[in-house]
Structure 1
Amino acid sequence: MKFNSLSLRALLIASTAILAPAFAFAQTETEAETETETEAAEAPTEAAPAVDEDFRLNEVVVLGRYIPEVLRSTSEVAAYLAPEDLARQGDSDAANALARVTGLSIAEGRFVYVRGLGERYSAARLNGSPLPSPEPLQRVVPLDLFPTKILENVLVQKTYSVEFPGEFGGGIIDLRTLNVPAEPFLEVSVGGSYNTETTGKDGLTYFGSDTDVIGFDDGTRKIPVAVRRAMSSGLRIQSGNFADQDLQAIGQSFTNAELNLIQTNDSIPLNGSYEVSGGTSFDLGGFDLGLIGVLGYSNGWRTKNGRLEVGEINGGQLQATSTFDYVSTDQNIGWDVLFGLGLDAGDDKIDWTNLYIRKTTKQAFVREGFDDLALRDVRDDRTAWYERELYSSQLNGRHFRGNWTFDWRTALSQTKRDAPYERAIRYVFDPLVNNYVYNPAGSGSNNSISFSYIDDKIVSGALDVKYTQPLSTARDIEYSAGIEGYENNRTAQTRVFGFIAANPPLDFRLTQQRADFLFANFNINPDVFEIRETTGSAGAGAFDADLNVFGAYAKVDAEVIPLVRAALGVRYENAAQSVTPLSLISSEADPAPVPGVKNNYLLPAATLTWNFAEDQQLRLGASQSIGRPQFRELAPQQYFDPDSSRIFIGNPFLTDTEILNLDARYELYFDRGQTVSAGVFYKDLEKPVESVVVTQSASVFQTYLNAPRAILYGAELEFKRVFDSPFSGAMMENKEFLVQANYTYSKSEVQASAGDEVFPLQSNGQPRPATDFVVDGSRLQGQSEHLANFQLGWQDDNARSQATLLATYASERTSARAPAGQPDFVQDPGINLDLVFKKGFDVRGREFTFDFKAQNLLNEDFDEFQSGNDGFVQVNQYDLGTSVSLGLSTEF
């Protein structure tokens, strides 16, 4: 869109009273700026009718010159992380970087909550194309997968516009990778970090395979050939389906000591990272060819020493009935590879982007305590290996033909999550030996070996057409339309096995053996242990899921009168979502079908932007959008989440959420990159999906349901100012200071009245009173009433140094609905304080950059709890520790 110049007479006629103060403000410009703008305004561009010279006045130019281009070119309320923001904040991944944005908070270190709405209401895109997720519980890709060094910028759009899919609640996050470089470069960097709760301290580990250090298994964790052969028979692996000698061979084929034996590491090593990036471009006559590449590797450790409790209401009081102390050590190995190729022929631009990200977690976990369900002291040992991969290949094009612009994109993106050999063993405390022993009798010991796999793929394509029609020399109108289609397919399956005592009770001396001796081959025989498959039946072990979306939109964006820009559009969207439970054992009955979700929507959106004074504008927006249940939420399949130590089961009776969005925002850009803004927002959600914790058949698990209704409203404030140093002296006078702060207040209410009904899993889709599961007036899950960020820093170009102090605060938020009668599960993120320092220097004529970062200086911990009914339960708590990292990079 063009920004205008217009005669002062027209401006005064349109809105004298409002624009008089703005005109006065405009007079503060320098004389040179005013003369330049006046000359530009008076330059003839086309023949015009004669005007009475007595009434001709110089024109006032309203250019919005300090408004960032990405925010000036959109009518929507948006936030933008520029390359300098990513560099200054020093965050290693996109999730942490986005925590600094107004109205955003981060859950589990991976998922972005926008304006208090959980990750289900946010959509992440890569260069405009949708992304699949490797996470079992989410369809939204976790943003910790994306290192900031492969990103050029990040756009967060908080109001809905029809060129995006209708699945929108809190925001759209568009991650934009590095483009063709303007100049050739080659940069090498190395870094290391230390954590006060992990590095050099006691932790846990297990051997695994010889290649674990590079994040790839060497075949140790591969399903054994004997097991695969038995699975191919279509029979459940157990006695009666296979002969004793076959079961013995199958049981002995499982890897034992390398994966079963948890060991103590008395000095967890430092974290390290390495990266090389480079790019160049070639002038091939009629067009430029650009190449860019990034290769990064990281290896880090994190130990959690924490507390887990399970609560119940006894005699009207909340009490912790099960209590555990635990230690968990994760080794996280990451690879990121980016290769981009671009062609620029002026009016024709084509980019090909390939991204590969791999994150592997090697986990050892031990917890000890009293289990109320088992009515005894127990110890649970667990080892796991989680491989998460994302691959995306994208082809994007943009073509200019006069007033026409054609944009197209196509992408194939695939994520995988492979978790082979999740080993779990439960021991019980025996006072006779004053130690934990393996005793499978009664509510005693058990063990399991599980292999789970997720393959999530999205194939997408889109075409956008825009025509710009001039309304005058200063104003225009844009007509745009487009189509987009994508198909999201997910396959998930879990096979579970365990060793059972063939002739209980076990020899007492055997029960005291450590795990690798206990399940050694000489104990796998018809007299001691035999293998048994415990994979869930009736579709509880596997499912296929798909989501097919076709959307088409039309939009008009015009400066209807000088300085007032309106955008009006509507999107038609057709979507069909289904989850099909599968039987992994062909000899067993097929599972019952699950109802799908299929809907057609017409989703309108309108925004109004009033540029009523130089570099000031007011935005108003209204739209309708939807939210869809995620695949795992629909699948009636059990899943153990290692992060929360809870079991999740989907509810196939979920439906879509319909959302009304209203926004208003004032923006003032008083210098380049400097701003003050204030806004308010309101959302009305019909049938939002909420997570509930329920107790059934002596088991505690987490599932989902549609609450009747919810509303969310709040206000946002943001301030960013750069100013010269107010101090004198050689060390201070050349510094430029930055002060940046934002605050979001939000409030939500989930509404459940008498007569409202919900359709929970445990009633098999039959209606139940909503008030049995939802407390009227309670807040939405993930919503913090207060969010705040503060940055204070300086930059000295002469000294080539930069320092920034960053503080992030999020107040308490609900993480899950508790069982009926109990207070909800609540997280308290608290205040996170970081310090980032960068310094450039020369060594033998080569430029180097030194990076220092200290995170969590206030030593906040992770805290999830229940409080109320005259009691307190520590659901999950562990110390995060303070991390210090050092980095060194150079460019060739």
Structure 2
Amino acid sequence: MSKLPGFKSLLLISTAIAFPSISLAQETPPSDEPVAEAEENADLDQSQDAASDDAQDQVDVSVPGGGFDDGIVVRGRRSNPVRDTPQVVSVLSDEDIARTGEGDIAGALGRVTGLSVVGNGFVFVRGLGDRYSLALLNGSPLPSPEPLKRVVPLDLFPTSVIASSLVQKSYSVNFPGEFGGGVINLTTKAVPEETFVTIGGGIGWDSESTNELGYTYFGSSSDWTGFDNGNRDLPSALSSFLASGERISLGSVNTQALASELVNARDVLVQTVPHQQPNFSGSFSTGTAFDIGDARLGIIASAGYSNKLRTRDTIQQTAATADLSQTELDFRRVITDNRIVVNSLLGFGLEFGENQLRWTNVYIRDSLKQARIGIGTRETTSPTATLQQQDTAWFERQLIDTQIVAELRPMDDLRLDIRAGYANSQREAPNEFSFEYFRSNSATDPFGAFFINRLNNGQEGSASVSYSDLNEDLYSAGADLSYRFTPTITGTVGYAYSDTNRRTERRDFLFTAPSSLPTGVSLLRPDLLLQPSIIQGFNIALIDTNEANPVFDAALRNHAGYAQLQADITDDLSVNVGVRYETAKQSVTPVQVFNVPTASLAGTNLNNDYWLPAATITYKLGDDLQFRLNASKTIARPQFRELIFQTYFDPDSNRQFRGNPLLTDSELFNVEGRAEYYLGRDERISVTGFYKQIDNPIETFASFSDNTVVSSFANAPQAKLYGAELETQKYFNFDSDSPFWDNRRVVAIANYTYTKSNISVNADDPVAVFASASTNATDFFRDGEPLTGQSDHLINIQLGLEDTDTLSQQTLLFSYASDRVTARGASLQPDIIERPGIQLDFVMRQGVKIGGVEAELKLEARNLTGTKYQEFQESGDNRIFYNLYNVGRTFSASLSITF
């Protein structure tokens, strides 16, 4: 989309003002990037043809019930941790993460076979949606700092704090039963080999945002830190009203006094930024280790800060008819996001003998300051008029996570793992302001050429504000006991407990004015229109639009136990079998906050238990070839945000969502087969086929509410998914006498995933959607349509050149994802499709010396193809764009120095 600064300027309602797993954790000296030069050279040298069979790496895994497999020792040129595990896994080592050049673990995981990154760092496994992916940190539950999603946005985890990651796509009973697409287990760094201090910084350029026109509002003077200075605290009158239990609808509340305190220029006066600043970031990490008697204690700490600006010049449309021949909403909207992320990690590791204790503490704060201005039309209510919409918002998302893991070996053949954790997630969105101004364009209207806001509920303008607050506590604990009966037979039993409690509150208020409001007053910009003198002088009032369901409590308590047996039947045949029992109570309860209670039916009470078996057979055909076959039964529970009948705005997708309290659990049957051929150390070819049957899958659908598109959720009757994966990794050495080429080699990594899914819907299948008049599944789903979030084709290719003696890497990264459904269409309209397309990136890492100190320079170029973001509906020749904008190309440079 071409740059149109003039158009952006015209959007301003107010005066424009310029705004001044398998890890190498024990052998990795942490740095701003995950691999320091010393280890990089060691790893590269070790993988050369000259590497001896005595070469040995200690690989440490921290997963529940890892037994004796989480201390894998890899020996020799052909050993490979992916090969030595009993399940179908993908391993992303420090070296793999570094090669991608990604500053966060989400980007690096996006290069793993079958994984795709959607939105701001949400990693999906095999294209399956949000609810089918599970993230663990050191084997313990990892809640999302965005509580309105299940998938953890892994771009909040800088690679400096992650030693490695393990992606397991076949289910084994030591993992939680909510296992759909797979599990991602991140292992944090623990005991460093030597004391280190690393300082890093970076700067980035976005072709669509940097030095281009964008929007902002003042907010508070401390917004750049990611923390509000108190300016957005609830006004005293509103706070007293919320605590009083009174209802506005009963007429006893002085709403003018409330309304007079809500609006001010610093929160609603949108300002232009003629030349937006570049993106920038900084990081610091340090670690040390020392002996305490026979034990070794390690301490590692890291902190990071990033500040990014992104402006999207979007086209957003909806259709009024099933064949898309007529548009309902047709807007061009410019959105500027200022995202500030602050993160820190403090970890302690204690090693004594063959025992290890790990205490990990993570803090993440992800704040988003957003300003949106749009201009467009609404066909049904005002076909000849022009509408101008303005939105300002501030979203605070925060995660505090602490966990302790003890991996003990009381006897040579006995292993005991104990885990405990606590996490708190919060989301606060104070002052979500929305204004709509109306221009009639009528020659007979004396004000027809001007935008006015009569505050009459959208007929000729509107104004609203929302306040939301969410708090969630998660307690978890588990114990796993493994005993090696013989050198080839190991049994494991375990217990896991989790208790999650959430309270979510949202209060929505609409400003209304009497018909006597003078048109001259309606011309005022938002902060002047709703100043106290206007509110008092012209009897502007407030309506509470969410009195029915303003507050909910939600809870999920889960007890689980399992037994698992790992046995080598022969030298070539091994089996891993087990069964897991889970019982869980999940509830959503409306909270009575008014003195006169409401009669809400928007509650949920699920009480289910399951037996979940799993088995994997591995057969080795020679030294280099092996086959695996896995079958399992798993579940997927509805998330709280999918159950709570409360509207919320997702700034990532720029749309509203509302839960459905009538959702039920999904049950999955999974089968997977895999052939693996190992060419050499870290070199392999693998082929995988998989099949899943999902009963009652939860799908997203779109609907209209007050001329606004709202996405919600419903259980489809059944879905089937099948596909195949192909992966290869190979190194090529140069046979050259040239000093430049002698120590260099080419690395080629490629993976391809084909996935096909379809929903099965019969004419008489029922569906349960709260507050819907229809109970027919065919009104929400079409037989044969694919699951939401699933791409038929995923391709990732890495082609790089690297030096085996010094840190020097140049990598070209290609990725492709085919079309995928993001939501079912409203009112029998076609599904909403996203077209991710092709992306081409280039990353260079180069070791340099600055004043005799080793440093790493990294240069990145992203989205070189300039691929657009496209989300649309299509029927014949008719196409409606839900979201269309230029993503832009980004270029960044960073430097890290390790002392």
* TM-score normalized by the length of structure 2: 0.89
Q: 1:80 to 1:672 in 2, by over 3 A?
A: same
Where does 1:504-519 land on structure 2 (aligned, <5 Å)? 504-519=515-530
Where does 1:801-816 land on structure 2 (aligned, <5 Å)? 801-816=808-823
Q: 1:33 to 1:270 in 2, by over 3 A?
A: closer
Where does 1:16-165 land on structure 2 (aligned, <5 Å)? 65=76, 70-135=81-146, 137-165=148-176
What is the aligned partner in structure 1 of residue 273 from structure 2? 265
1:791 aligned counterpart, secondary structure: strand
Q: 1:256 to 1:317 in 2, by over 3 A?
A: closer
1:437 aligned counterpart, secondary structure: coil
Partner Cα separation in structure 2 for residue 68 and residue 517 of structure 1: 71
What is the aligned partner in structure 1 of residue 474 from structure 2? 458
Conserved? CA contact 1:582–1:590, under 8 Å: no
Partner Cα separation in structure 2 for residue 822 and residue 248 of structure 1: 43
1:193 aligned counterpart, secondary structure: strand
What is the aligned partner in structure 2 of residue 866 from structure 1? 873
Q: 1:742 to 1:32 in 2, by over 3 A?
A: closer
Summarize deviations over 1:231-290 as a string: whole Å, max 9, x none. 2111134783134xxx44433322500001001100000111111101000111221111
| Equivalent residue for 1:215, pick from 226, 230, 253 | 226
Partner Cα separation in structure 1 for residue 369 and residue 479 of structure 2: 42
Summarize deviations over 1:176-231 as a string: whole Å, max 9, x none. 11111111111100100000000000000111101011111011000012211122
Q: 1:149 to 1:228 in 2, by over 3 A?
A: same
Q: Compute the RMSD of aligned alpha carbons.
A: 2.3
More off after superposition, 192-201 vs 76-85: 76-85
Partner Cα separation in structure 2 for residue 390 and residue 805 of structure 1: 34
Q: Provide structure 1 residue ranges, at least 5 long, that are not aligned to the other structure.
A: 1-28, 38-61
What is the aligned partner in structure 2 of residue 478 from structure 1? 490
Q: 1:523 to 1:728 in 2, by over 3 A?
A: farther
Partner Cα separation in structure 1 for residue 836 and residue 679 of structure 2: 34
The amino acid that maps onto 2:297 is L
| Equivalent residue for 1:438, pick from 429, 453, 456 | 453
Partner Cα separation in structure 1 for residue 53 and residue 363 of structure 2: 51
1:408 aligned counterpart, secondary structure: strand
Conserved? CA contact 1:319–1:872, under 8 Å: no
Displacement, 1:855? 0.6
Partner Cα separation in structure 2 for residue 599 and residue 69 of structure 1: 40
1:132 aligned counterpart, secondary structure: coil
Displacement, 1:695? 3.6
What is the aligned partner in structure 2 of residue 421 from structure 1? 431
Displacement, 1:63? 9.1
Conserved? CA contact 2:720–2:757, under 8 Å: yes
| Equivalent residue for 1:825, pick from 828, 832, 843 | 832
Displacement, 1:78? 0.8
Conserved? CA contact 2:52–2:76, under 8 Å: no
Say whether residues 1:683 and 2:692 are aligned partners. Answer: yes
Conserved? CA contact 2:604–2:643, under 8 Å: no
Partner Cα separation in structure 1 for residue 130 and residue 204 of structure 2: 29
| Equivalent residue for 1:738, pick from 742, 747, 752 | 747
What is the aligned partner in structure 1 of residue 65 from structure 2? none
Q: 1:248 to 1:311 in 2, by over 3 A?
A: closer
Q: 1:194 to 1:317 in 2, by over 3 A?
A: closer
* TM-score normalized by the length of structure 1: 0.89
Displacement, 1:611? 2.2
Summarize deviations over 1:754-784 as a string: whole Å, max 9, x none. 32222223447xx733222211111111111
More off after superposition, 269-278 vs 490-499: 490-499
Q: 1:147 to 1:644 in 2, by over 3 A?
A: same
Displacement, 1:821? 2.8
Partner Cα separation in structure 2 for residue 233 and residue 126 of structure 1: 42
Summarize deviations over 1:516-553 as a string: whole Å, max 9, x none. 2222232231x3253424241222x2211111111100
Conserved? CA contact 2:52–2:77, under 8 Å: no
Say whether residues 1:522 and 2:496 are aligned partners. Answer: no
What is the aligned partner in structure 2 of residue 49 from structure 1? none
Summarize deviations over 1:488-513 as a string: whole Å, max 9, x none. 11111111223322x43322222222
Summarize deviations over 1:455-512 as a string: whole Å, max 9, x none. 1221000000000122xxxx510010000000111111111223322x4332222222
Say whether residues 1:323 and 2:330 are aligned partners. Answer: yes
Displacement, 1:789? 0.2
The amino acid that maps onto 2:601 is A
Conserved? CA contact 2:861–2:892, under 8 Å: yes
Displacement, 1:373? 4.2
Say whether residues 1:488 and 2:503 are aligned partners. Answer: no
Conserved? CA contact 1:248–1:531, under 8 Å: yes
What is the aligned partner in structure 1 of residue 558 from structure 2? 549
Partner Cα separation in structure 2 for residue 99 and residue 889 of structure 1: 24
Conserved? CA contact 1:127–1:175, under 8 Å: yes
What is the aligned partner in structure 1 of residue 214 from structure 2? 203
Q: 1:66 to 1:606 in 2, by over 3 A?
A: farther
Where does 1:299-698 land on structure 2 (aligned, <5 Å)? 299-313=307-321, 316=323, 318-375=325-382, 376-400=385-409, 401-431=411-441, 432=447, 434-441=449-456, 443-470=459-486, 475-501=487-513, 503-525=514-536, 527-539=537-549, 541-592=550-601, 594-695=603-704
Partner Cα separation in structure 2 for residue 171 and residue 420 of structure 1: 35
Partner Cα separation in structure 2 for residue 364 and residue 378 of structure 1: 17
Summarize deviations over 1:578-620 as a string: whole Å, max 9, x none. 1112233333424236231111110000001112221322111
Name the larger-Rg structure: 1
Conserved? CA contact 1:815–1:826, under 8 Å: yes
The amino acid that maps onto 1:75 is P
What is the aligned partner in structure 2 of residue 48 from structure 1? none
2:237 aligned counterpart, secondary structure: helix
More off after superposition, 713-722 vs 792-801: 792-801
| Equivalent residue for 2:199, pick from 188, 193, 198 | 188
Q: 1:68 to 1:157 in 2, by over 3 A?
A: farther
Conserved? CA contact 1:615–1:670, under 8 Å: yes
Conserved? CA contact 1:66–1:669, under 8 Å: no
Summarize deviations over 1:65-96 as a string: whole Å, max 9, x none. 55666434421111111111111111122222
2:280 aligned counterpart, secondary structure: strand
The amino acid that maps onto 2:776 is P
Conserved? CA contact 2:729–2:747, under 8 Å: yes
More off after superposition, 109-118 vs 560-569: 109-118
What is the aligned partner in structure 2 of residue 250 from structure 1? 258
Displacement, 1:354? 0.5
Partner Cα separation in structure 2 for residue 593 and residue 800 of structure 1: 59
Partner Cα separation in structure 2 for residue 74 and residue 769 of structure 1: 46
Q: Provide structure 2 residue ranges, at least 5 long, that are not aligned to the other structure.
A: 1-47, 57-72, 442-446
Q: 1:108 to 1:529 in 2, by over 3 A?
A: farther
1:596 aligned counterpart, secondary structure: strand
The amino acid that maps onto 1:165 is P
More off after superposition, 68-77 vs 804-813: 68-77
Partner Cα separation in structure 1 for residue 882 and residue 517 of structure 2: 35
Conserved? CA contact 2:587–2:605, under 8 Å: yes
The amino acid that maps onto 1:486 is S
Displacement, 1:649? 2.0
Partner Cα separation in structure 2 for residue 281 and residue 665 of structure 1: 41
| Equivalent residue for 1:702, pick from 699, 703, 711 | 711
What is the aligned partner in structure 2 of residue 887 from structure 1? 894
Q: Detail structure 1 runs of 4+ shifted over 6 Å in the superposition.
A: 29-37
